[in-house]
Amino acid sequence: MPDNLSENQIRIFDTTLRDGEQAPGCSMTLSEKLRVAKALSELNVDIIEAGFPAASPGDFESVKAIADRNFGPVICGLARCNAADIERVHAAVKGADNHRIHVFVATSAIHREYKLKMAKDEIIKSAVGAIKIARELCDDVEFSPEDASRTELSYLAEVVSAAIEAGASTVNIPDTVGYTVPAEFNRLFCYLKEHVARINEITLSVHCHNDLGMAVANSLAAVGAGARQIECTINGIGERAGNCSLEEAVMAIKTRSEFFGVCTKIDTTRLYPTSRLVSNITGMHPPRNKAIVGENAFSHEAGIHQHGMLQHASTYEIMRPEDVGLSHSNLILGKHSGRHAFRDRAKELGFELDDFEINRAFQDFKKLADKKKDIYDGDIESIIMNASGSASGPWSLKSLEIQTHTDQPATATVTLVGEDGVDVSESAHGDGPVAAALQALERATGVDMILLNFELHSASSGEDAQGEVTVTVEINGQIFRGRGASVDIVEAGCRAGLEVMNRTLRRRARGETNADSTQSAHATI
C-alpha cells in the first residue's frame, strides 16, 4: 500500500473527459471541459483523466488548460507506449501541482495477434521502456494492460510485475470490453495479489466497461479483492455501453460501508448537480430509472410504498435524496420570486454565477415565469445552461411564426435582431416545422448547416414543461452541438440552431476556422 493512502480509502479516478468523452455524441468543447473539470474538483475526485493529448491538438490544449487551472485533483493524461505520446502528456499536465502520466498497451492474445502483431516479450519490453521514460518526467505513473480481463493470468502477472519493477506507482486492470463477471474478476485480483511480489507497494486500480451491464458490480468485486482506485465516469458515459458509473460506485460504497469496509472522499451532495451538468453539456440524459441520478430514482409511486414512506422513510429508501444533492423541495419559484431567491436556488443547484450571469439568467427566468406558473429545478438548470451557452449574439431571436398543415410542407418565418438593433426576417418551407425554422435561420444568418441529430428532453414535469433541445449539426465538415430551451419545442430547436450559428459567426469574426468544435479526432487505441 503506498504510504499516502490509508488502507480503506478508495481513490476515485474520473475519466469522463477521456474515456467518457470518446463516446459518440459526448465530445465537449474546451469551455465545456473546463466546466466539467471544475465540477469534478468540487465533487472531490482524487484524479481527473483530462484527455489523450497525442490524439489531436484540441485534446492537448484542453488537457493543458485543465492542468494549468490547478483545480486541486491530480491531473492525468493518457499515452500509448511511445516517447512522443508520453512527452506530449507531460507537456500538457505539468502545469498542475499534482500530475500523472498514464501509459497503456494491450496484453490479451487477441490484441497481441490481431491489433499489435507483437509477441509477449515485446509487449513487456515496450511497457517497461514507456514506464521508464514516463518516470524520468514524473513520479506519478500509471500503467494499464489493456484487455487485462482476457489476458492469460500468468502472463498478466508477469506484465504487472515488470510494470512495478519499472516504476509504475499505480497499476490499473481494465475490463476493456466489459466481458468479465464479478466472481471471475475478484479471482483475477486475488491471483495478482498472490502472484505479484511487490503488489502491495503500488495502488491497484480497476477500470470496467459496461457491455454486459456489470461495470459497477465488477469494479466493486475488484475492491473486495484489494483494488484501491476505481476508474469511472459521471452518468457512466463512455465507449459503447459506457464505463463504471461514478455515482453508483460511490453510493454503493457509502450505503453499504459496513459490507465493503472502505470509503471515498467524494462529496456526495455534488453528485446530482455534476450529473446534470454532464448530461446538459453532452445532451445525453440518463434514463429515468437510472440508479442515483435518474428522475425516478427517489420517487415512490406505488400506494403501499407511499404509505410506508409516510410512516418512516427507511421503509423503502436506502439513501436520502439530499445525500446525492437532490432537493426534496423541487417545486419552488414563480413569477413573484425575486432575484435573491433565484440566486439562492441556483447556488443550491450547484451554479456559482457572477453578477452578469445572474442578471442574464434572471431576465430569462422572469420571461419564463410569465409563460409557466411553477418553475422547477430543471427549469432553472435549463435557463442557466442556455444563458451560458448562447452568450452574446450576434443574433437573437425576436419572433418565430410557424404554419403546419397535414400533407403540406411547413412554413416558418423567423425575425432576428442583430447587434446593431436591426431586424432581419426570412421565411422558408420544410418537411416539418423544425426543418423550416432552421432553413429560415440559415437564410437570415448566412450560416449553412446539416442537421445530424435533434434530441428533445423535458426539463421538468407537467403540461407546460420546458422542452430542452440539443442539436448536432455539421458546418463545413465539422460537428457542432447547440442547446435551446422553451415551452415551445420548435422554438427550443430554433434557439439550439441559432446558438451554433452565433458561435460560428463569432469564430469567423475572430478569423478562426475550427475552434470550439465538439469534434475531436481521437487516435485509435
Q: Give contact residues for Zn ion (rule: CB under 5 A).
A: 19
In this chain, which of 14, 19, 247, 468 binds ligand KIV, going by CB under 6 A? 19
In this chain, which of 73, 174, 273, 350 binds ligand KIV, going by CB under 6 A? 174
Residue pair 507/401 in contact (Cβ under 8 Å)? The answer is no
Quick one: which segment of 81-89, 170-178, 278-286, 384-392 binds ligand KIV (CB under 6 A)? 170-178
60 binds, among ligand KIV, Zn ion, none (CB under 5 to 8 A by kind): none
* CA separation for the pair 205, 423 (Å, rounded): 58
What are the CB-based long-range contacts (under 8 Å, 24+) for 471-475? 471/496, 471/497, 471/500, 472/25, 472/283, 472/518, 473/449, 473/497, 473/500, 474/449, 474/450, 475/447, 475/448, 475/449, 475/450, 475/500, 475/504
382 binds, among Zn ion, ligand KIV, none (CB under 5 to 8 A by kind): none
In this chain, which of 14, 21, 32, 146 binds ligand KIV, going by CB under 6 A? 146
Helix (H, G, I), strand (E, B) or coil at 231: strand
- How near is the Cβ of 473 to ligand KIV at its closest, in Å? 29
* CA separation for the pair 258, 373 (Å, rounded): 46
- How near is the Cβ of 519 to ligand KIV at its closest, in Å? 20
Tell whether residue 52 is a contact of ligand KIV (CB under 6 A).
Answer: no
Closest CB to ligand KIV among residues 84, 523 = 523
Tell whether residue 100 is a contact of ligand KIV (CB under 6 A).
Answer: no
Closest CB to ligand KIV among residues 163, 489 = 163
Show Cβ contacts of residue 476 under 8 Å, excluding neighbours closer than 6 positions. 513
- How near is the Cβ of 176 to ligand KIV at its closest, in Å? 3
Closest CB to Zn ion among residues 178, 433 = 178
Closest CB to Zn ion among residues 163, 465 = 163
Show Cβ contacts of residue 313 under 8 Å, excluding neighbours closer than 6 positions. 320
Quick one: which segment of 31-39, 168-176, 399-407, 412-420 binds ligand KIV (CB under 6 A)? 168-176
146 binds, among Zn ion, ligand KIV, none (CB under 5 to 8 A by kind): ligand KIV
Residue pair 345/365 in contact (Cβ under 8 Å)? The answer is no
- How near is the Cβ of 133 to ligand KIV at its closest, in Å? 17
Question: Three cell numbers at 142?
Answer: 500509471
Instruction: Tell me the C-alpha to C-alpha distance, in Å, between residue 117 and each of 106, 113, 127.
Output: 11, 5, 15
In this chain, which of 60, 71, 104, 362 binds ligand KIV, going by CB under 6 A? 104
Give, as ranges, the residues between 322 and 361 that touch ligand KIV (CB under 6 A): none
| Burial grade of 455 (CB within 10 A; 0-12, 13-18, 19 or more) | middle
| Residue 148, Ramachandran bin (φ over 0: left; ψ between -120 and 50: alpha; else beta) | alpha
Strands (E), 119-250: 141-146, 170-175, 203-208, 229-232
The whole-angstrom distance between residue 123's C-alpha and the CA centroid of its chain comes to 32
Measure the CA angle with vertex 21, ends 19 and 22; round to 5°.
65
- How near is the Cβ of 521 to ligand KIV at its closest, in Å? 17
Closest CB to ligand KIV among residues 521, 523 = 523
290 binds, among ligand KIV, Zn ion, none (CB under 5 to 8 A by kind): none
In this chain, which of 108, 169, 176, 517 binds ligand KIV, going by CB under 6 A? 176
- Round to the nearest angstrom and report the end-to-end CA distance of the chain: 30
User: What number of CA atoms fall less than 13 Å from residue 186's CA on the CB side?
Assistant: 11
Closest CB to ligand KIV among residues 178, 286 = 178
Residue pair 197/158 in contact (Cβ under 8 Å)? The answer is no
Show Cβ contacts of residue 398 under 8 Å, excluding neighbours closer than 6 positions. 415, 416, 417, 423
x-or-dash string of contact with ligand KIV, 178-217, rule CB under 6 A:
-----------------------------x-x--------
- How near is the Cβ of 176 to Zn ion at its closest, in Å? 6
Q: For residue 24, which of 405, 329, 453 has the smallest C-alpha distance?
A: 453
Closest CB to Zn ion among residues 33, 503 = 33
Closest CB to Zn ion among residues 19, 364 = 19
Closest CB to Zn ion among residues 243, 470 = 243
144 binds, among ligand KIV, Zn ion, none (CB under 5 to 8 A by kind): ligand KIV
The whole-angstrom distance between residue 438's C-alpha and the CA centroid of its chain comes to 28
- How near is the Cβ of 19 to ligand KIV at its closest, in Å? 5
495 binds, among ligand KIV, Zn ion, none (CB under 5 to 8 A by kind): none
Tell whether residue 144 is a contact of ligand KIV (CB under 6 A).
Answer: yes
* CA separation for the pair 168, 122 (Å, rounded): 18
The contact set with ligand KIV (CB under 6 A) reads 19, 104, 144, 146, 172, 174, 176, 207, 209, 525
